[in-house]
Amino acid sequence: MKNRLALILCISLLLFAVSGCGKRVEDKEQFSPDEKIVLKFSHVTAENTPKGLAAERFAELVKERTRGRVEVQVFPNSTLYKDGEEIEALKSGAVQMIAPATSKLSGVFPLWQVFDLPYAFADESKVHQAMDGYIGSRLFEGLRQNNLHALAFWDSGFKVMTNNQKPVVHPDDFAGLSFRVMINSQVLKKQFEKLGAKPVEGSFDDLYRALESRTIDGEENTISNICSKNLFKVQPYITVSNHGYMGYVVLTDEKYWNGLPEDIRGLLESTLAEVTEWERQQALRMNREGMQTITASGAVQLHYLTDDEKSEWIQVLKPLYQEFEYIIGPDLIESVEELKNNN
């Protein structure tokens, strides 16, 4: 009898532990009403970038609006996690927010390469239309299926080409040059191959060193990144090609998010929406001001592509749309084409 009672007790305790009673239930609210909530936000760019400033502004507003109950700790410059480590860190709960460039999501979510297609979007407003419409809904759905929750979509801007060898004006000028590409995007690799250059995948935190040591010749980036990382000091040739867009998805883990108290979730959402509007203005401003800094430095020979030169690039890069249709999907490619044709 005693043994049976002991056995029942053991089984009950085991079931209690396995069912998660006695500890926080993950899908329900994880926090007691007065408990302080610390949210780690890791990213790879400098503080003086649109993303860096927006993350800081978000942290300040959240602190003020929750009277210190929620603390967003921002870790810029890959100080916590670098390219290729961020998603895992988010999933494991080591951090609660990240904001990777969309290209870097492509390893896990290949559809995101739709944003890497060259000359896909005429300007930022087209990109935002894409995110707010069919393209965004398909992409966010994919994230949800993997327990990731997209909170916002931030701009970095349109990319230019930089290198240390010569002015790059026509597609032929790329021959023999090596270019760093962001990790995980096959479209970006192929883009450089089509242009006759050699793509070399690399993380953002290694980029300055790789360019300074001349391990690679060039790279593509937005002006705010080129300025904040001083890339222009080791890249004397810049072609203003605006050939591709770079943006960020502010991501959190779905379970973590659902475990936050509802009022806090609402406050974080509304604050992020406000910061997103602000961030997009910062991106425009910083790219504009960055260009002035670069011009004034006298360190760079700038070339702005003419319409005819741009047509040459478009011609060479156009086949990528068909070559990647089997990955990105005909529906998303069609949506991009529709956006191009609608004014």
Nearer to ligand SIN (CB atom), residue 40 or residue 104: 104
**Distance in Å, CB of 101 to ligand SIN, minimum:** 5
Nearer to ligand SIN (CB atom), residue 101 or residue 268: 101
**Distance in Å, CB of 134 to ligand SIN, minimum:** 25
**Distance in Å, CB of 181 to ligand SIN, minimum:** 9
Nearer to ligand SIN (CB atom), residue 30 or residue 203: 203
Nearer to ligand SIN (CB atom), residue 148 or residue 260: 148
Q: Helices 330-341 and 134-145: crossing angle, nearest 10°?
A: 150
Order of strands across the sheet that contains 218-221: 198-201, 178-181, 218-221, 160-163, 237-240, 301-304
Distance CA 342, CA 330 (A): 18
Coil, strand or helix at 245 = strand
**Distance in Å, CB of 182 to ligand SIN, minimum:** 5
**Distance in Å, CB of 44 to ligand SIN, minimum:** 5
Distance CA 321, CA 334 (A): 10
**Distance in Å, CB of 77 to ligand SIN, minimum:** 11
- Residues 46 and 76 sit within 8 Å (Cβ to Cβ): yes
Cα distances from 242 to residues 21, 96, 188, 296, in angstroms, run 55, 33, 14, 21
Nearer to ligand SIN (CB atom), residue 114 or residue 231: 231
Interacting residue ranges for ligand SIN, rule: CB under 6 A: 44-45, 101, 156, 182, 204, 221, 225
Distance CA 316, CA 313 (A): 5
AA identity, residue 70 = V
Q: Where are the alpha helices (DSSP H) in the chain?
A: 2-18, 50-65, 86-92, 124-132, 134-145, 186-194, 204-212, 223-228, 254-259, 262-297, 307-317, 319-323, 325-328, 330-341
Position of minimal CB gap to ligand SIN = 204
Nearer to ligand SIN (CB atom), residue 156 or residue 287: 156
The dihedrals phi and psi of 118, each to the nearest 5 degrees, come to -65, 140
**Distance in Å, CB of 22 to ligand SIN, minimum:** 41
**Distance in Å, CB of 27 to ligand SIN, minimum:** 31
Nearer to ligand SIN (CB atom), residue 206 or residue 309: 206
Nearer to ligand SIN (CB atom), residue 248 or residue 267: 248
β-sheet bridge partners, residue 250 = 152
Coil, strand or helix at 241 = coil
Cα distances from 275 to residues 54, 66, 330, in angstroms, run 6, 16, 33
Nearer to ligand SIN (CB atom), residue 99 or residue 260: 99
Distance CA 189, CA 85 (A): 20
**Distance in Å, CB of 286 to ligand SIN, minimum:** 12
